[in-house]
Structure 1
Amino acid sequence: MNVWLWALAALATLLLAAYALRAAGRAATAGAPAFRDMTFAVAFGYVLAAAALAGGVWLWVQPGAVFFRWAVQFFAMATAAAFLFRLAGRHVGTEATRKAFRQMPLTAAFGLLTILLYAVTAIFADILAPYGQSEVVGAVNMLPGGDPATGGDPAHPLGTDQIGRDLMSRLIYGAQNTVGIAFATTCIAFFLGGSLGFLAATIGGWLDNLLARAVDVLMAIPSLIFALLLMTIASAWAGNQQWQLTLYMVIIIAVIDSTRVFRLARAVGQSIVVMDYIEAAKLRGEGLGYLIFREILPNATAPLLAEFGLRFCFVFLTIAALSFLGVGIQPPLADWGTMVRDLAQFINFAAFSPLAAALPLMAAGAIALLTVAVNFVVDWMLHRSSGLKD
């Protein structure tokens, strides 16, 4: 009850402050348009932003707000890195790329830079990682930071896990495995769903109805639960062959996710096949393959590329979730979802040692950061393809 009273009192204070701000501004500026035309909602937004800023400053000086300070510092460094990356892109490269960087918002620059860093890490994981992904190299449960006084080791800057594997190496290899497998799965899903979608849109008739109804049935089932059910069955088929279970996971997720791609490809294809140039190609006697790959696909690239980013995020999160549940990417491969599961118990020690709680948060943060980055880039691509102006 006291919590609700405090919340109501805080809300009333903010509302009163917003009213006072607008009234004081109108009186002090003799009815200047900026205050005269200001709505109460805008004034409340200003007061709420000021209150949030004051609360952030207060939280920053609290001794126990370690994670908040880390988050603010990361945000500042990410903003600076995105600004410098966009600035460099405006002066390097072709005229088309320089124009794209000039029109690129800071969020898209951050997302693109993050994706590039993840891609480089995944491609050169064997070179960047100081140890093998399943190599036991030191004492167990070393804390990050590399300071022996706080339970760390300079040889393992991010610490070790419960069996003595280097966490920095596993994070790097996790980019190669988690991101690489998610990218391959998304490509398979797009090839399968896109091909069937364009085929259904071009041929139509009974084939279109059959494929559309089959996709409706698959989409009616929650995808994560369906994938978990099929992976449980596949684990019995795979037996002790861990690579087979990973292969089954790729096939299952690709088939499930291809239903979403099918719907988009079919809808876009149906809007293209009625165009005059498609009719002209049919009158010339062009075959089905020519119509799909030379006429429909080039005109459907923009929405498909944006959808590819969104589907990659869903596939990436699905693989991480299945690995967290123990039926995804299997050992000895390093995977971020598995790392979160193995290190989750350290969250209980956050009140005593923030560094201990940081162990599972590193893998979870890697998952969240890539998801946010891809969404930033996809939003920018959709904005560009829509032709809207800022």
Structure 2
Amino acid sequence: MSVFVITYFGLLIATSCAAAYWNQRGPFLTLFSLTLVSFVLGIVGGAGALRFVAIAAGMIAFAAGISYAFREFLVLITSHNLSKEIKTAPLTASFGMFVIFTYAVAGIFAPWIAPYGESEVISSAFAPADENMLLGADQLGRDMFSRIIYGARNTVGLALLATVAAFLMGAFAGLLAATKGGWFDQVLGRIADIIMSIPSLIFALLMLSIFGPQVIVIIVAVAIIYAPRVFRLTRAVAGNVVVMDYIEAAKLRGEKTWYLIRREILPNSTAPLIAEFGLEFCFVFLLVAGLSFLGLGVQPPTADWGSMVRENATLISFGEITPLIPAAAIALLTVAVNFVVDWMLFRSSGLKEQ
């Protein structure tokens, strides 16, 4: 039995006993469950399986520590009311906020963080990682690390712009339909149904094939695709508000439609709409990355995570994980946004933890 195996199980048993002694039920169950799982995996897979479990557990513990520290940091720098809300956030939501913050910093300060330009050729094709290139080079000899940093600005920025456009279109139409009602509501509803009946990827490919893969065309096409989803939710939320007595009182006072939307309906519909914005961003982000992977999204030489996966896919045949790094960046941001959205939905639902 190797020293690693003895040390590994010794630490697990010691920490489990310490957690049980101090009556820490949650940590004890987690640690002892990990001990039992590791025992089974050690018998089946040997020391290699235990090393994998140890690395995975270490990464989870590191992420939990970062999440806790970032949550406490936000509590200290925010206002009193907001800090009380953040204090109740689970570690998953704190982890999501930390990832979103990291991506925002990478996108905003990309020219200062990236060691090379996004289209600068500095080496041979598929050169391995060294002291100058942390992740090696791509198929043209460009630094992969620099292109991933710039991809945070291009891919996430484009998805954010498209999400904002879709959300403004859908939310405004939904609020207007709920306020006016009648034939106006019916017409907008049928238009939304027609657009939603068309598969989103086929619609996007058709638009980009006709008008060309330009940034403005991508934004407009994605906005048209996802605006009906926002319209349906906004119409449903606002429909529950317009029947309230204070809305009727405002109408009797002679208030106009814009006043009703801006001062009465929208403030009482904010929480679910903010959560919907996060969900729509995930859908738009994945669609934009998928279009780039198919070659109809952001065009070369601009760095984009979807196109980077396609351009370096041949490395997978040689056992290299380089193409998986931009794919992991896409997946990580999607999971992080969903963590934050889940917490926001929980808070807006009025449910409380027992």
Q: TM-score, normalised by structure 2?
A: 0.85
Q: 2:121 aligns with which of 129, 136, 139?
A: 136
* CA deviation vs aligned residue, 1:75-116 (integer Å, no higher than 9, x gap): 332222112212333444322232123211010000011111
Residue in 2 that maps onto 1:277: 246
Alignment pair present for 1:340 and 2:309: yes
What is the alpha-carbon distance in structure 2 between the residues aligned to residue 56 and residue 97 of structure 1?
Answer: 44
Residue in 2 that maps onto 1:19: none
1:296-375 equivalences in 2 (<5 Å):
296-350=265-319, 356-357=320-321, 359-375=322-338
Q: CA deviation at 1:72?
A: 4.8
What is the alpha-carbon distance in structure 2 between the residues aligned to residue 59 and residue 112 of structure 1?
Answer: 36
For residue 326 of structure 2, what is the amino acid of its counterpart? A
Where structure 1 has 5 or more consecutive residues not aligned to the other structure, the ranges are 1-46, 144-151, 236-241, 351-355
Residue in 2 that maps onto 1:179: 156
Alignment pair present for 1:62 and 2:32: no
Q: 1:78 aligns with which of 63, 73, 79?
A: 63
Q: 1:266 aligns with which of 216, 223, 235?
A: 235
Q: CA deviation at 1:156?
A: 0.8
* CA deviation vs aligned residue, 1:206-262 (integer Å, no higher than 9, x gap): 111111011111111221222223222222xxxxxx6xx221111000111001000
For residue 347 of structure 1, what is the amino acid of its counterpart? I
Alignment pair present for 1:95 and 2:80: yes
Q: CA deviation at 1:50?
A: 6.8
1:6-85 equivalences in 2 (<5 Å):
52-54=37-39, 61-62=47-48, 71-85=56-70
For residue 163 of structure 2, what is the amino acid of its counterpart? T
Q: CA deviation at 1:55?
A: 5.3
Alignment pair present for 1:286 and 2:255: yes
Residue in 1 that maps onto 2:192: 215
Q: CA deviation at 1:53?
A: 4.2
For residue 167 of structure 1, what is the amino acid of its counterpart? M
Q: TM-score, normalised by structure 1?
A: 0.77
Q: 1:203 aligns with which of 171, 180, 203?
A: 180
1:218-257 equivalences in 2 (<5 Å):
218-235=195-212, 245-257=214-226
What is the alpha-carbon distance in structure 2 between the residues aligned to residue 288 and residue 297 of structure 1?
Answer: 12
Where structure 2 has 5 or more consecutive residues not aligned to the other structure, the ranges are 1-31
* CA contact 2:119–2:303 (8 Å) conserved in 1: yes
Q: CA deviation at 1:180?
A: 0.6
What is the alpha-carbon distance in structure 2 between the residues aligned to residue 127 and residue 275 of structure 1?
Answer: 52
Whichever of the two has the greater Rg, that structure is 1
* CA contact 1:189–1:257 (8 Å) conserved in 2: yes
User: Closer, same or farther in 2 for the Cα pair 1:53/1:271, shift >3 Å?
Assistant: farther
For residue 310 of structure 1, what is the amino acid of its counterpart? L
* CA contact 1:89–1:97 (8 Å) conserved in 2: no
* CA deviation vs aligned residue, 1:263-310 (integer Å, no higher than 9, x gap): 011111111111111111111111111111111111110000000000
Q: CA deviation at 1:132?
A: 1.0
2:341 is paired with a residue whose SS is: helix
* CA contact 2:218–2:297 (8 Å) conserved in 1: yes
* CA contact 2:38–2:50 (8 Å) conserved in 1: no
Q: CA deviation at 1:385?
A: 0.7
What is the alpha-carbon distance in structure 1 between the residues aligned to residue 261 and residue 237 of structure 2?
Answer: 12
How many residues were matched structurally?
A: 323
Identity %: 52
* CA contact 2:150–2:303 (8 Å) conserved in 1: yes
Report the aligned-residue RMSD: 2.4
What is the alpha-carbon distance in structure 2 between the residues aligned to residue 228 and residue 333 of structure 1?
Answer: 20
What is the alpha-carbon distance in structure 1 between the residues aligned to residue 207 and residue 50 of structure 2?
Answer: 44
